[in-house]
Chain A
Amino acid sequence: MAVDTSLNCYRKGFRDGIPIGLGYLSVSFTFGIMAVNTGLPVWLAVLISMTNLTSAGQFAGINLIYNQVPYIEMALTQLVINMRYALMSVTLSQKTDKSFNLLHRFLISFGITDEVFAVASGKKSEIGIRYMYGLITAPYLGWTTGTLLGAVASTLLPETVSSALNIAIYGMFIAIIIPPAKSSGPVLKVILISVGISCLIYYLPIFDFISDGFAIIICAVASSALGAVFHPVKEEVK
């Protein structure tokens, strides 16, 4: 058991969250711009970011609000796009130490984003609740502040700049997955399989009925299962 060496320090978590928060600034800035461009007032754009804290779901959400779709369609779209978080929550539930009581689990769940998950799950040891609160702080501030700034500045930004900012989030994802892929063959294989399936679903017309959010689940489940069958993880990663 690695409980004694587990990571449970707010300041350490906060520091690890700073790059995520800075990265979120540009993405949520773009979200703020787009939300206002679809006709939402600034305060609603910020409210969405404060209560949702997710990128793909929010971008899809403002599109659905713009089209005034039935409520059930909004619920189902969010469910499919964000279902990946369930997978992440299951994974993180295995990395928590004893400081995660039920109340903390209710609170901390709100902050599980792709990047928070990536950083937390990449830690060698178990993680404690203080570390987790710290980790979530900067991303939350970055996400809401960026949305506010983007919404307010939406009319001021030239198109070339907002186009360039759109790639930021993907740059972050690449920065997260490439270093481990360099040092682990199985991780590289899983990534390549996942990307391969993702491209097939995206480019082949017969798969057009699969939504973006659901495509991610298919890719992740298939490639991770293959990885687990052919390269089971020997020593437990705690």
Chain B
Amino acid sequence: MNLIYIAIMAAVTYCIRMLPMVLIRRKIENNFIKSFLFYVPYAVLGAMTFPAILSSTSSIYSAVAGTITAIFTALKEKSLLIVALSACFAVYITEWLIYIIAPA
């Protein structure tokens, strides 16, 4: 039963990734499409991050603290890992402070 669910998940996800890669084997020459595809990564990642990041932790305050920390360290051009861990650390500290100030 659960294995069927997993097989469906895997098959659908794989086909989405595979079909364009296998079917589009020539270089696209159209400049609009090329420009469009150039912007896609940034647009996708931006939309996936905001506003979802604000509800990714157990409190909006810690999420804001984590977001600001991530933006700040990213502006400093730190590595992916450093940015991610800094954000986690900021969230952890903030939630700890909230707990100290107003224990649940």
A-side contacts of B95, CB under 8 Å: 160, 163-164
Q: Is the CB of A89 within 8 A of B20?
A: yes
Q: Is the CB of A88 within 8 A of B46?
A: no
* Chain B at the A interface: SS class: helix
How many B residues face the partner with a CB closer than 8 A?
Answer: 77
B-side contacts of A174, CB under 8 Å: 49, 53, 67, 70-71, 74, 83, 87
Supposing A47-B6, A109-B21, A233-B38 touch, asked if A175 and B80 sit within 8 A by C-beta, the answer is: yes
Q: How far, in whole Å, are A109 and B18 apart by their CA atoms in the complex?
A: 5
Q: Does B16 contact A (CB under 8 A)?
A: yes
Contact string against B for A residues 221-238, beta-carbon threshold 8 Å, 1 for contact and 0 otherwise: 001110111011100110
Interface residues of B in 11-64 (CB under 8 A from A): 12-14, 16-22, 24-25, 27-28, 31-53, 56-59, 62-63
Q: How far, in whole Å, are A237 and B58 apart by their CA atoms in the complex?
A: 41
B-side contacts of A52, CB under 8 Å: 6, 9-10, 13
Q: How far, in whole Å, are A170 and B90 apart by their CA atoms in the complex?
A: 13
Q: How far, in whole Å, are A209 and B8 apart by their CA atoms in the complex?
A: 24
Contact string against B for A residues 188-211, beta-carbon threshold 8 Å, 1 for contact and 0 otherwise: 001111110111001100000000
Q: Does A20 contact B (CB under 8 A)?
A: yes
Supposing A22-B81, A195-B47 touch, asked if A175 and B74 sit within 8 A by C-beta, the answer is: yes
A-side contacts of B31, CB under 8 Å: 232-233
Distance from A218 Cβ to chain B, minimum over Cβ atoms (Å): 8
B-side contacts of A40, CB under 8 Å: 2
Q: Is the CB of B80 within 8 A of A19?
A: yes
Q: How far, in whole Å, are A20 and B22 apart by their CA atoms in the complex?
A: 25
A-side contacts of B28, CB under 8 Å: 94
Distance from A16 Cβ to chain B, minimum over Cβ atoms (Å): 10
Apart from A199-B50, A227-B36: 7 A-B pairs, beta carbons within 8 A: A93-B24, A106-B22, A114-B48, A164-B88, A166-B91, A175-B84, A224-B37
